[in-house]
Amino acid sequence: MNTTAEQDRADTPVFDARVERETAAIYERVKHIIPAIEWPVHAPYIASINALKAEKRAILLAHNYQTPEIFHGVADITGDSLALARAAAKTDTDVIVLCGVHFMAETAKILNPSKTVLIPDLEAGCSLASSITAEDVRLLRERYPGVPVVTYVNTYAAVKAESDVCCTSANAVQVVESLGADRVIFLPDEYLGRHVAARTKVEMILWKGHCEVHERFTAEDIRSYRQRFDGIFVLAHPECPPEVLAEADFVGSTSGMIKHVGEIRPKRVVMITECSMSDNVAVEYPDIEFVRPCNLCPHMKRITLPGVLHSLQSMQYTVELDPDVGARARRAVQRMLDLTSRSN
């Protein structure tokens, strides 16, 4: 009888001439990001996953913080949280595999309650999403009766269900002002809330939630980059502390940062956000030098090619929601999607 280790080796896809041919076009695109010595490790999984997606009528959504071999190798749709939410709402496949963290998989399930939604690793969580609970939101409503609740999509379904409307970092100002209220409860990211508050006259009641990746950046980090790399252009995500944003040349959402790089085409940039995003954007702009800040999200990095393949093979792990929670959360997410659709 095979031991577990022997069975694992037997089940591991191998790099051969067929796999090399099937993945050649993908590698040509990412060869300046993924070293040649690594490709024989990634390619067999990429080929197996892409074949299995077709067999299972599955679509794979990947967030910008996923590693390049996932983002460029197997993903059908990529983007920030808003792009993935929109894609999840429109998909007509039987199975959605979410390469991201758990709240993103929940959002896909919220918008597709009848579809099978898989996340390759149940431990792919989020420090920001874990910073607030549904009970916290209910207590805030009691403390501030009648004040609408705007909730960042980086939250779990139970929190979304207690909210009036969701937002992303890209549309937060638009969503807040759409309510026509003098003040709103904005949850849970304090730094994003401060960034929004500086751009609207609406009074913001904030929560002290933070992203463990973005809160580690400091203003000194940016000053150090400027000293070490002449003429570097600094882009920062609004989940960073205010003093970091004050040092940046551009502040914007994940999609906003990517768009701005494409518009101005600086010679050298640093993106003050999760490190893999720089790798993925660099594929699109090989002429730009990307300095990697390399603050990695430990939760995003739980998603791996072997994990994605196993998820499709075994149809694990399925995301399930209480029907009432899902329905109430769907109203908050759909309200955001309807608002942004009208403005585009």
Condensed to tens digits (0 to 9), the pLDDT of residues 231-240 reads 999 999 999 9
Condensed to tens digits (0 to 9), the pLDDT of residues 210-243 reads 999 999 999 999 999 999 999 999 999 999 999 9
**pLDDT of residue 196 exceeding 80:** yes
Condensed to tens digits (0 to 9), the pLDDT of residues 82-125 reads 788 788 778 888 999 999 999 999 999 999 999 999 999 999 99
What mean pLDDT value characterizes the chain? 93
* Residues contacting 322, CB < 8 A, separation 6+: none
Fold equal for 4-125+300-314 and 129-211 = yes
Domain 129-211 belongs to what architecture? Answer: 3-Layer(aba) Sandwich (3.40)
**pLDDT of residue 192 exceeding 60:** yes
Each domain of the chain, given as residue ranges in start order, spans 4-125+300-314, 129-211, 214-291
**pLDDT of residue 4 exceeding 80:** no
Cβ atoms of residues 238 and 274 within 8 Å: no
Structure confidence at residue 81 as a pLDDT band (50, 70, 90): confident
Q: Residue range 55-73: average pLDDT? A: 96
Cβ atoms of residues 340 and 174 within 8 Å: yes
Q: Residue 138: helix, strand or coil by DSSP?
A: helix
pLDDT, position 6: 36
Condensed to tens digits (0 to 9), the pLDDT of residues 5-50 reads 433 444 789 999 999 999 999 999 999 999 999 999 999 999 999 9
Cβ atoms of residues 154 and 103 within 8 Å: yes
Cβ atoms of residues 156 and 119 within 8 Å: no
> Could you tell me what percent of the chain has a pLDDT over 90?
89
pLDDT, position 10: 42
pLDDT, position 343: 56
**pLDDT of residue 340 exceeding 80:** no
Instruction: Give the homologous superfamily in CATH for domain 214-291.
Output: NadA-like (3.40.50.10800)
**pLDDT of residue 137 exceeding 80:** yes
pLDDT, position 342: 67
Cα gap 313→16, rounded to integer Å:
21
> Could you tell me what percent of the chain has a pLDDT over 70?
96
Q: Residue range 268-277: average pLDDT? A: 95
Which among 332, 329, 177, 196 has a CA at the least distance from the CA of 253? 196
Predicted TM-score of the model (pTM): 0.91
Cα gap 64→240, rounded to integer Å:
17
Domain 4-125+300-314, classified CATH 3.40.50.10800, yes or no = yes
